[in-house]
Amino acid sequence: MLEPHTPSPPDDAPDLLPRYLALTWAGLTIYGSLYPFFGWQYGGASPFAFLVWAWPHYWTTFDLAANIVVYMPLGFFLTLSLRRLPGRASGVLCAAGVSGALSLGMEGLQTWLPSRIASNLDFACNLLGSLLGGLIAVWVGARLRARWKFWRLRFIAPLPHVDLGLTLLGLWLIALLSPETLLFGVGDLRQTFGREPPTLDYAAQTYHIAETAVVACNVLALGLFVATLLRGRWRAYLLVPLFFVFAAAVCSLSAALLSAPAQFLVWMTPGAREGLMIGMALLALSLFLPPRIRPLLAAFALLSGVLLVNCLPMNPYSLATLTRWREGHFLNFNGLTRWISIVWPFLALPYLLFACHAGKNRA
């Protein structure tokens, strides 16, 4: 049975998603540029002295490519957000200017971080990346907006701030790349303050049951989160499983990078497998609930998963792979994904409660 028809969102609503994504990517870039945020020292040099320094003698192709690729999404999203500016080149140039100012500020602050090296070559690569991203946005922007508008009117519920909810789901997928969590186990606060608080001592069978519960709670929470943002109950039945298929692909990619390509399913432990089955069964039943109830149940399941994660011992798989992941170029990326994994539930909970309130007002 389909849910009652609801009015379509205004034509300008899709423009909010690029803005949310641009702000989110800028925040992630700032975090990744200044991580690990300690050891600040003032050496007397101007923060912009790196602009006139000779180009660094030691650099790698990976460094150049990474600095270009990191700023391409920022230029892309900013250009889409600024598409209403007059002239085809205005959005690209403004996006490059904003991205360049951000890169300049980050490189300047890195002057005072002993663990980071300010570089005019990095700044040039960041600027090039933002320009490339902006040009791609101009090239595919019209077709992308038309396709997104079609899918939005067909599948996305006309909720207030639905674009923020979609952005939060994207952040959750990034959090899956963190090697320090159980499957879908976000919100681990135990190492936030530099030390691990005591946890309950579990036997192997008890740990297995608790891991199953963590996965089941988060499958239920995320599935209902996705269903809340969808228009029509039958589409929820189709698209929610596809979301978890994509999440499993992200987990497999992370496992392949952490361990070896042949071990891409190492995350599929017996507890994770049983948690997926139980969570999907509960989710299938929960989709028959009224739409205004789903966000409240999702918030309860998410909070339950967070409490369980913080009572479990550290994941043995995470401990075995963490050292290798933190080496080299993955140091900053690991800090970023871990931070997203920690804060995500505390961003999602207020949104789910707001969605529940909005659903009551629409009912």
**190 and 146: one domain?**
no
Q: Are residues 191 and 340 in the same domain?
A: yes
In the predicted structure, residue 235 carries a pLDDT above the cut 60: yes
Is the distance from CB of 325 to CB of 254 less than 8 angstroms?
no
Specify whether 90 is located in the same domain as 138.
yes
Q: Confidence band (pLDDT; 50, 70, 90) for 159?
A: confident
Domain boundary among 132, 155, 178: 155
Total number of domains constituting the chain: 2
Q: For residue 224, is it within any domain?
A: yes
Highest mean pLDDT among 153-162, 178-187, 194-203: 153-162
In this prediction, residue 204 carries a pLDDT of 67
Whether residue 336 lies inside any domain: the answer is yes
In a domain, 308, yes or no: yes
Burial letters 314-343, b for 16+ CB under 10 A, else e: ebebbeebbeebeeeeeebbbbbbbbbbbb
Look at 2-6, 126-130, 334-338 and tell me which has the smallest mean pLDDT.
2-6
Buried-exposed string 14-40: b where 16+ CB fall within 10 A, e elsewhere:
bbbbbbbbbebbbebbeebbbbeeeee
Domain boundary among 155, 188, 211: 155
Query: Does residue 2 sit within a domain?
Result: no
Residue 4 lies in a domain: no
Residue 246 lies in a domain: yes
- 109 belongs to a structural domain: yes
Q: Clarify whether residues 219 and 82 are in a common domain.
A: no
Same domain, 167 and 129: no
Residue 268 shares a structural domain with residue 339: yes
Average pLDDT, the chain: 81
Is 236 inside any structural domain? yes
Domain region containing 234: 162-362
Q: Which tokens in the block code for residue 251?
A: 């987990």
Report the percent of the chain where pLDDT is more than 90. 33
